[in-house]
């Protein structure tokens, strides 16, 4: 499976990675700061409630000699003005509300929380007479209990009975404020880091990415046929060294290409100037090259021959022999075929050689019609025949004798 990052240009990949890094870093910092700040808020809220309950407990018990219940109610209701205080309830030993931040609860039976933490806290303060404070399960509320002695429904305080002082604070607003403040700081810091990152990317872009793109564009132009394309990067950095080496390589390629073209031109001229016909064909018998002498011999253009079967140049009666001889070295005497259907005696000198990584056959072709005619004529004029023609007949001898 291909890595998708390898398919993205550096000019886009760098800012993407930079943005992801900044966002990830800011998210991590925000989460860490939020967790630490929430812990501090909760710790401070628990400690603050403990101090408030201790103070209220002390004040109420100090007032048991001459304070009226009205004074106590005034004291308790004053806690309702504090931010975050949801409710404070003061009960007697029978769990009747004597004072509360909510007036409608006075003289009603107190409805205290029944969670296990609350029950444990009530049991502890009743046994010890102290103060118990704890966080709710979701961490957004603080519950506190204190044992207060000397309470009575008669309007005065008595020390011979004990009630419960219950206080509940909601710290959600404080947590929300902290979260919002941290988020705002994280956004500001993120924007600042992104701006710095943008500046850094611009520096990288103009010093690295843009110059790398020039190198890529030059390579593409050269591969598309612009052999004058060069990078010409200034500087002493690694990319400049690479570009200079790349330009030198391109110069060498151009020189080698020129030398190769010159060599090919010479070979082409030799190929075309040879008096004998030359045919090059592959292992499948398909003609790959056809020189001018062959055009004269077969009286047809190379464009009609190259890319077609060699068998088209041989008389049908001799094609089986050609097929058996294909891709073998040696001399093959056969009969050639021209487009007009005329046939002629043809000699093919075959040799194999690797061309472009593939074994191909080179055939030197000659029209030997005239040579065959002379050979036939010569055989007809064999010396034995001449001698027979020169010997006098018996009648001749008698005539001259």
- CA-angle at 205, arms to 199 and 208, nearest 5°: 130
pLDDT score of 263 more than 60: yes
User: Is residue 145 classed exposed, middle or buried when 0-12, 13-18 and 19+ CB atoms within 10 A define those classes?
Assistant: buried
Domain made up of 7-177: CATH architecture: 2-Layer Sandwich (3.30)
Q: Are 332 and 347 in contact (CB under 8 A)?
A: yes
Both tokens of residue 154? Answer: 């008669």
pLDDT, position 337: 92
Residue 290 contacts residue 299 (beta carbons within 8 Å):
no
Domain ranges of the chain: 7-177, 230-273, 274-376
Q: Is the dihedral of CA 185, 186, 189, 195 positive or negative?
A: negative
Rounded-to-integer distance, Cα 141 and Cα 119, Å: 16
The two tokens of residue 204 are 């990288």
Whole-angstrom distance, CA of residue 63 vs CA of residue 155: 12
Helix (H), strand (E), coil (C) string for 115-182: CHHHHHHHHHHHHHCCEEEEECCCCCEEEEEEEEECCCCCCECCCCCEEEEEEEEECHHHHHHHHHHH
CA 195 to CA 41: how far, in whole Å?
Answer: 33
Say whether pLDDT at 40 is over 80.
yes
pLDDT, averaged across the chain: 81
The CATH number of 274-376 is 3.30.450.20
Task: Give the lowest-confidence range in 199-203, 357-361, 380-384.
Answer: 380-384
Check residues 183 and 200 and name the one with the higher pLDDT. 183
The two domains 7-177 and 274-376 share their CATH topology (first three levels equal): yes
Average pLDDT over residues 338-356: 89
Per-residue model confidence (pLDDT) at position 66: 57
Q: pLDDT band at 382, cuts 50/70/90? A: low
- pLDDT value at residue 396: 43
Q: Are 277 and 293 in contact (CB under 8 A)?
A: yes
1-15, 36-50, 232-246, 266-280: segment of lowest average pLDDT: 1-15
């Amino acid at each position: 499976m291909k890595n998708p990052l390898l398919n993205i240009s550096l000019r886009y990949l760098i800012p993407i990675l930079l943005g992801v890094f900044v966002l990830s870093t800011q998210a991590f910092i925000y989460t860490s700061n939020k967790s630490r700040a929430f812990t501090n808020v909760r710790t401070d809220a628990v400690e603050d409630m403990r101090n408030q309950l201790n103070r209220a407990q002390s004040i109420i018990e100090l007032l048991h000699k001459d304070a009226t219940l009205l004074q106590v109610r005034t004291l308790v209701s004053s806690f309702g003005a504090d931010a975050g205080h949801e409710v404070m309830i003061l009960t007697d030993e029978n769990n009747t509300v004597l004072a509360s931040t909510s007036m409608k609860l006075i003289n009603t039976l107190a409805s205290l929380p029944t969670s296990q933490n609350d029950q444990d806290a009530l049991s502890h303060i009743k046994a010890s007479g102290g103060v118990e404070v704890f966080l709710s399960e979701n961490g957004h509320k603080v519950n506190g209990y204190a044992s207060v002695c000397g309470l009575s429904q008669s309007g005065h305080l008595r020390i011979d009975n004990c009630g419960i002082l219950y206080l509940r604070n909601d710290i959600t607003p404080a947590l929300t404020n902290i979260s919002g403040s941290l988020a705002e700081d994280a956004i500001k810091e993120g924007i600042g880091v992104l701006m710095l990152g943008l500046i850094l990317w611009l520096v990288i872009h103009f010093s690295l990415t843009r110059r790398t793109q020039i190198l890529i564009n030059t390579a593409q132009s050269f591969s598309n046929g612009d052999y004058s394309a060069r990078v010409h990067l200034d500087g002493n950095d690694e990319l400049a060294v690479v570009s200079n080496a790349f330009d030198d390589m391109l110069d060498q390629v151009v020189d080698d290409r020129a030398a190769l073209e010159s060599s090919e031109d010479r070979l082409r001229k030799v190929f075309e100037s040879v008096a004998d016909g030359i045919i090059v064909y592959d292992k499948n018998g398909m003609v790959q090259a056809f020189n001018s002498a062959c055009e004269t011999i077969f009286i047809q253009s190379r464009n009609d021959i190259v890319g077609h079967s060699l068998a088209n140049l041989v008389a049908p009666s001799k094609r089986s022999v050609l097929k058996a001889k294909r891709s073998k070295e040696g001399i093959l005497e056969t009969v050639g075929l021209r487009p007009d259907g005329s046939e002629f005696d043809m000699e093919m000198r075959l040799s194999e050689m690797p061309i472009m990584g593939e074994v191909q056959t080179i055939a030197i072709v000659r029209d030997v019609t005239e040579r065959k005619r002379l050979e036939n004529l010569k055989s007809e004029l064999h010396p034995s025949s001449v001698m027979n023609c020169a010997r006098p007949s018996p009648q001749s001898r008698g005539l001259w004798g």
